[in-house]
Structure 1
């Protein structure tokens, strides 16, 4: 029929349409699909009298992967009309299928996300495999988009406005097969493909006059329309709740989605589809969605495909890991390792400390069991793989060790040296240090080629990033093993070269330092925090430095200065340093762990900014524009990321973008720290001009590096 859709009509008149794009590993809403879908519906309509019903399924491992993100990412404002027409065309074809007058069933054999689930929604019934491979949902909002293939319109009419928004659309949640059945996203589950298709045929036979609920006489929107008294108490508060959730930061996709859903709920189905297309096309053709797609999809995909893994080495998996240190980081590393199936030896100086470290896993698993995310048997299996100990001999035969003791180089070296005699040949030896040079720590290892940095982020069970740090003598084989281990334990690895602070710890301090400098300039602390969150950072810089502790920030600063001086360089004094020193030495407020920092704390919880900041630092300067405060933070990180790239600390742009978003909270809407430079108004030339403006106002630290100026002159983006 066409090269994407195959047609099989059985003796009973049931047509099975199987999607299988020969040009792609997964079916997507590509240009070919958009062209061929109306032709498929033409044939179905032409043969309507001989057709009892239609089953839509896939020959791929996935049902349908959604929109063509590459196509959408390339769209600009000039493409708005064409994008609207594309969306309207897809929806017109799906609407014709929906109004066929014959039952249409989606047989969902794998992931049906975004456009895939929108195809399923246009069917009258949905049967899914009871398989871990099945994921159902509309995650478009997480990519700066909204469901524009009818998903917004149909889910509102299926579940009601409030339920559709709160449980499905605004969350972007992906549901397992069982969850999808429980929530009503699918109607049946089947054990295997044959049973799935048989269930679809049975439903067709029993429902010859199938229609969507919204196409039946007397249909009413579940929960009422926006003008219904039932929604008066909740609907008007949603914009404020969205803004609160985003902490005032950019949230265009969620705001557009809310508007499309509410406006669409007040008109007929076809008019609602038009409203949906307008809002979706506006997002597709905007810069923010392109940034997010780059930073949250294409860059992570490049990393997952092994862009940073040396070629020529066989796949590797670890079997037994020794975690040295059972504190917060060590306990978290033990948990993710055991959850991934590794046997874990969790060693500390006392059995009480090691047992407390295992207790962290027990608490996480207890919560998972209570929430239904795991079973008691799975809980017991994970805990059974964690062995708390004080006996280093328990490390015998391990093929991976991760040192996670206090940030003291001599302590780390002793801990590593102690375990070496017990490891298997060729074991990967790693340090979880966040700032100390890996090359220096490698002195403790008999073969520095086996030594590498594995910098986890806290809390380890929730943070997806793993920063792999390559020392001067780390071998490519060890790096390849480390990348494979990262994937094995469910982490997204970025690879950087050795330097004090590496990439993430070094760059995040630039964000913190700029906030501290603003406080020192007399800007109200509340304004500094608002500038950060409204720029899109997940937390204010002052709250962040309280979490890190001001003493740790100062220790890192002094270690960095000492290292720079040892190499013959004299580091410039940052205006943040005086604020940091005064908070610690004079005001006695070293951070949250001590119960006193930039914030006050009651029972360990934040209780507002410390009122004494106004007396200590003035707090009355309102002359600095909000945009300057925001861009000082953003530019400080971006400029230092460029310096990391220039010096070879960063190995790729993808590592920079992914690491900045997943590891240090750089605003998602930017697409990452270097994509932020690419997308700045006026491109790289506009970024250079603005950096020079900031340098003139606030200090030479904003002077653009020569490499950036050269790129701006040639128009070469960071790719």
Structure 2
């Protein structure tokens, strides 16, 4: 009946049309411009055949439809708001045509059906889902809302409260949850999906179900009286605003759109959705979050490519137990790679195994893992005091004390024991990989593998190569990190590597601001409002004052022109001298008490201002929000550019994702370089000139000046 590149329509027995999404040019189905055009043509072809009695919508892929083609959003969202709204509304006419067919329709959801994919299924009268599939509307995670009728049809099917939870939260839903709220009409085994869907469709054709009543339900006003509506929407707005925060407008917009459209029929409701979709599409938040999604896809592709060059890792080992070693061992074993954990002391092994056991117990408590599975994972971690089984390992992660002499000794020792070609990686946060490589007989097999603490929570791993590291060693380490569920960023060796090198100029700007009289609590609040999960003082406490002090010394030696930490006595020096090391010993810039859940709770310490007064020669001073943000963010932006210019990292994508995944850079701002694009390079240079007297940290690079002159962006639209 119809043959396209994305959609094919076949006439089945019983005068049923099967509309099959089967993209011939991609591994998955997605809604791009071609697919939308073909859907319109296919629907017309179906409508033209007066013998058709029912429509079955299927997929020829393992997934149903993964959603919109996000790569098309960039050019689309450059259009004026009115044109974006018009595009969305006209696109909805195609889905309306499916909904208005003169016979019943059923969608067989065989796999992932997200965004436009799920909205496609909502346009049909009924949905039968495979027990292995999942559905959802994740658009708020991109800073937008559904644009193909999701905010209109879903509330009328499952109720406003359920729809708000689904759409504002953006999470994929399992079949059982979907059936419970009537988002789907049946859950069946995967191998029975098509036959069960056809059987159900035939029963509708035979008059056993009133598809017209179901259709009318989706096209009419929302079934809520005014009082119920007012209470439901006002409660939802407050709850979601508190959960999402003011920097993420899309979840709250979902509530407003559903509320505004509640008393409208389909056409008017879709106009409200299209207008809101277009408005959000023009925000910097959507721009950043869409870039973040695309960046993540880019990193996944790079990791997949690395996997083709990698040697298989069937057995791993970690040298050094304790909290870090235990965390690495847990992460490896829980994701399927057995690991040996070696230390020289039983006490350290006990701590490492205790850490792994604690993390597994937490998974069991949250019902993420069964006790049997937790026991199996724990059995895949073998604690040992000797190198007896190291002859069979494929990769060794060294995680001993942060001391170059000790590390070199341990690395040289283990290299003699492992089989030829075994990859040896150092989990160092600051010691030069080039320097450590001098201890190796085969430096081509050696590199850095920097995990961030706590290992189980932080998604980033920096894979740091030295001058003699082989491509195979890099690829194998990236593949192992990926298998552990981490995002690996490949970085050229330099003091501080990528993330710490960029973070410490931010700290440098902050310490100078405190010296000049800023209130540390006020600065923390401003930077948390800016979007950081914690302000710089709190972050220093979490990192550890002693750790920061040590890394600061390393970076001062590496970049004395701009990171010299001896130019003035700083707030960090004062804390370090007072042995106030932060969370680890209960007091730093803040004090830490244990909350009822056993976690450290931050409280203001009245003695901190007295200590800081000793390094504020001109006393206290108020600073504007803009000045605080600029004095901290400009050094970070400039240092990120330097890393790019020096090929420490290959692309703006990897630089920005390293900051987001490594130190919690505000995702809705997209990373330092995406933020620079948003502000505009000319404005960045003007701000740098304003603070030029503060030194080299605020001196823009030649590449930045060139970009401003040429009007270029790190992320071209």
Indicate whether the TM-score tops 0.5: yes
Q: Report SS of the residue matched to 2:388.
A: helix
Could you tell which deviates more after superposition, 478-487 or 365-374? 365-374
The alignment of Structure 1 onto Structure 2 pairs a total of residues equal to 701
Task: Answer whether contact 1:457 1:663 (CA < 8 A) is retained.
Answer: yes
The equivalences for 1:172-191 within 5 A come to 172-177=170-175, 180-181=178-179, 184-191=182-189
The equivalences for 1:413-428 within 5 A come to 413-428=408-423
In structure 2, the partner of 1:143 is 142
Offset at residue 642 of structure 1 (A): 0.8
Task: Answer whether contact 2:590 2:608 (CA < 8 A) is retained.
Answer: no
Task: Answer whether contact 1:517 1:575 (CA < 8 A) is retained.
Answer: no
Task: Answer whether contact 2:310 2:476 (CA < 8 A) is retained.
Answer: yes
Task: Answer whether contact 1:75 1:284 (CA < 8 A) is retained.
Answer: no
Offset at residue 204 of structure 1 (A): 1.2
Change beyond 3 A, Cα 1:702–1:314: closer
TM-score by length of 2: 0.91
In structure 1, the partner of 2:197 is 200
The equivalences for 1:279-678 within 5 A come to 279-294=276-291, 296-306=292-302, 314-564=309-559, 571-573=563-565, 578-586=570-578, 588-603=579-594, 605-617=600-612, 623-678=622-677
Offset at residue 666 of structure 1 (A): 1.3
In structure 2, the partner of 1:44 is 46
In structure 1, the partner of 2:699 is 703
1:265 and 2:262 are equivalent in the alignment: yes
Task: Answer whether contact 1:522 1:617 (CA < 8 A) is retained.
Answer: no
CA distance, structure 2, for counterparts of residue 19 and residue 597 of structure 1: 58
In structure 1, the partner of 2:125 is 124
Offset at residue 428 of structure 1 (A): 0.7
Task: Answer whether contact 1:127 1:189 (CA < 8 A) is retained.
Answer: yes
Change beyond 3 A, Cα 1:353–1:617: closer
CA distance, structure 2, for counterparts of residue 212 and residue 411 of structure 1: 75
Offset at residue 171 of structure 1 (A): 1.8
Could you tell which deviates more after superposition, 427-436 or 321-330? 321-330
Task: Answer whether contact 1:695 1:702 (CA < 8 A) is retained.
Answer: yes
The equivalences for 1:60-139 within 5 A come to 60-76=61-77, 78-131=79-132, 134-139=133-138
Q: Deviations over 1:344-402 (max 9, x none)?
A: 10122333432332333333333333444333443333222111222222323111000
Q: Report SS of the residue matched to 2:601.
A: strand
Change beyond 3 A, Cα 1:102–1:528: same
Change beyond 3 A, Cα 1:238–1:638: farther
Q: Deviations over 1:70-124 (max 9, x none)?
A: 2212234543233212211222221232233532211112211111111122222
Q: Deviations over 1:205-254 (max 9, x none)?
A: 222331464724998857x46x425863x643554544543555x21222
TM-score by length of 1: 0.91
Q: Report SS of the residue matched to 2:450.
A: strand
In structure 1, the partner of 2:23 is 21
Task: Answer whether contact 2:339 2:381 (CA < 8 A) is retained.
Answer: yes
CA distance, structure 1, for counterparts of residue 90 and residue 568 of structure 2: 56
Q: Deviations over 1:448-474 (max 9, x none)?
A: 110011111222223222211011221
Task: Answer whether contact 2:519 2:622 (CA < 8 A) is retained.
Answer: no
Could you tell which deviates more after superposition, 644-653 or 370-379? 370-379
Q: Report SS of the residue matched to 2:374.
A: helix
CA distance, structure 1, for counterparts of residue 274 and residue 566 of structure 2: 49
Counterpart among 687, 691, 695 of residue 690 in structure 1: 687
Offset at residue 496 of structure 1 (A): 0.7
CA distance, structure 2, for counterparts of residue 111 and residue 461 of structure 1: 27
